[in-house]
Chain A
Amino acid sequence: MTQKMILNFPAGISGTPITYELIRVHDVKVNILKAEIQPGQIGSLLVELEGDQEKLEKAKQFLISNGVRVSPVSSKVSYDEKRCINCGNCVSACFSGALTIGAPDWKLHFNPEKCIACKLCLTACPQKLFRIEFSTIN
Chain B
Amino acid sequence: MAKTYEEINDKISKGKAVVLTAEEVSELAKTLSPKEIAQKVDVVTTATFGAMCSSGAFLNFGHPTPGIRMEKIELNGVRVCGGLAAVDTYVGATDCNPERPAYGGAHIIEELVAGKEIVLEAWGKGTDDYPRRHIKTLITKDSINEAYLYNPRNAYQNYNVAVNSTNEIKHTYMGTLLPQLRNAAYSTAGELSPLINDPECRTIGLGTRIFLCGTEGYVAWNGTQFHSTREVNEHGIPVTNARTLAVVGDLKQMSTDFLRAAYYEKYGVSLFVGLGIPIPVLDEDLAHRVSIRNEQIETTISDYGDGYKILGRTNYAALRSGEIEIQGRKVRTAPVSSLAKAREIADILKSWITNGKFTLSAPVRPMPTNTSVKPLTVRGFEDETGI
Chain A residues close to B by CB (< 8 Å): 85-89, 91-93, 95, 101-103, 105-107, 120, 123-124, 126-128
Tell me which residues from 253 to 278 in chain B have a Cβ below 8 Å from any Cβ of chain A.
Answer: 260-265, 270, 272
Between-chain CB contacts (< 8 Å), 24 pairs: A85-B260, A85-B340, A86-B338, A86-B339, A86-B340, A87-B337, A87-B338, A88-B336, A88-B338, A89-B334, A91-B335, A92-B334, A95-B182, A95-B332, A101-B334, A101-B335, A102-B320, A105-B340, A106-B335, A106-B340, A124-B265, A126-B270, A127-B261, A128-B263
Establish whether residues A93 and B335, one from each chain, have CB atoms under 8 Å apart when the complex forms: no
In this complex, what residue of A is CB-closest to B102? A128
Determine the chain B residues whose CB is within 8 A of the CB of A85 once the complex forms. Answer: 49, 260, 272, 338, 340-341
Determine the chain A residues whose CB is within 8 A of the CB of B171 once the complex forms. Answer: 123
Tell me which residues from 228 to 253 in chain B have a Cβ below 8 Å from any Cβ of chain A.
Answer: none
Given A86-B341, A87-B335, A102-B320, the answer on whether A92 and B263 have CB atoms closer than 8 Å is: no
Establish whether residues B178 and A87, one from each chain, have CB atoms under 8 Å apart when the complex forms: no
Establish whether residues A95 and B183, one from each chain, have CB atoms under 8 Å apart when the complex forms: yes
- Determine which of A95, A101, A106, A123 lies in contact with B265 in the assembled complex, contact meaning CB atoms within 8 Å: A123
Q: B44-59 CB contact bits vs A (8 Å, 1 = yes)?
A: 0000011100000000
- CB of A121, distance to nearest CB on chain B (Å): 9
Establish whether residues B176 and A92, one from each chain, have CB atoms under 8 Å apart when the complex forms: yes
Q: How far is the CA of A72 from the CA of B334 in the complex (A)?
A: 33
Determine the chain A residues whose CB is within 8 A of the CB of B335 once the complex forms. Answer: 87-88, 91-92, 101, 106
In this complex, what residue of B is CB-closest to A94? B334
Q: How far is the CA of A85 from the CA of B260 in the complex (A)?
A: 9
- CB of A111, distance to nearest CB on chain B (Å): 15
Q: How far is the CA of A108 from the CA of B41 in the complex (A)?
A: 33
Establish whether residues B178 and A95, one from each chain, have CB atoms under 8 Å apart when the complex forms: yes
Establish whether residues B185 and A92, one from each chain, have CB atoms under 8 Å apart when the complex forms: yes
Given A85-B341, A93-B183, the answer on whether A126 and B272 have CB atoms closer than 8 Å is: yes
Establish whether residues B340 and A92, one from each chain, have CB atoms under 8 Å apart when the complex forms: no
Q: How far is the CA of A92 from the CA of B270 in the complex (A)?
A: 18
Does B289 lie at the interface of the complex (its beta carbon under 8 Å from any beta carbon of A)? no
- CB of B258, distance to nearest CB on chain A (Å): 9
- CB of A79, distance to nearest CB on chain B (Å): 14
- CB of B113, distance to nearest CB on chain A (Å): 14
Does B343 lie at the interface of the complex (its beta carbon under 8 Å from any beta carbon of A)? yes
Determine the chain A residues whose CB is within 8 A of the CB of B126 once the complex forms. Answer: none
Q: How far is the CA of A127 from the CA of B183 in the complex (A)?
A: 21
Q: How far is the CA of A126 from the CA of B341 in the complex (A)?
A: 15
Q: Which 10 A-B pairs have the closest CB atoms?
A: A126-B262, A92-B334, A88-B335, A93-B176, A106-B339, A91-B334, A86-B340, A123-B265, A124-B176, A89-B175
Q: How far is the CA of A21 from the CA of B63 in the complex (A)?
A: 74
Q: How far is the CA of A124 from the CA of B178 in the complex (A)?
A: 11
Tell me which residues from 171 to 186 in chain B have a Cβ below 8 Å from any Cβ of chain A.
Answer: 171, 175-178, 182-183, 185
Determine the chain A residues whose CB is within 8 A of the CB of B176 once the complex forms. Answer: 89, 92-93, 120, 123-124
Q: How far is the CA of A101 from the CA of B332 in the complex (A)?
A: 12
Determine the chain A residues whose CB is within 8 A of the CB of B320 once the complex forms. Answer: 102-103
Determine the chain A residues whose CB is within 8 A of the CB of B182 once the complex forms. Answer: 95
In this complex, what residue of B is CB-closest to A99? B334
Determine the chain B residues whose CB is within 8 A of the CB of A128 once the complex forms. Answer: 102, 263
Q: B315-330 CB contact bits vs A (8 Å, 1 = yes)?
A: 0000010100000000
Q: How far is the CA of A105 from the CA of B342 in the complex (A)?
A: 12
Determine the chain B residues whose CB is within 8 A of the CB of A91 once the complex forms. Answer: 334-335
In this complex, what residue of B is CB-closest to A85? B338
Determine the chain A residues whose CB is within 8 A of the CB of B49 once the complex forms. Answer: 85, 87
- CB of A89, distance to nearest CB on chain B (Å): 4
Determine the chain A residues whose CB is within 8 A of the CB of B102 once the complex forms. Answer: 128
Determine the chain B residues whose CB is within 8 A of the CB of A87 once the complex forms. Answer: 49-51, 272, 335-338, 341
- Determine which of A88, A103, A105 lies in contact with B334 in the assembled complex, contact meaning CB atoms within 8 Å: A88
In this complex, what residue of A is CB-closest to B256? A83
- Determine which of B175, B260, B322, B338 lies in contact with A124 in the assembled complex, contact meaning CB atoms within 8 Å: B175
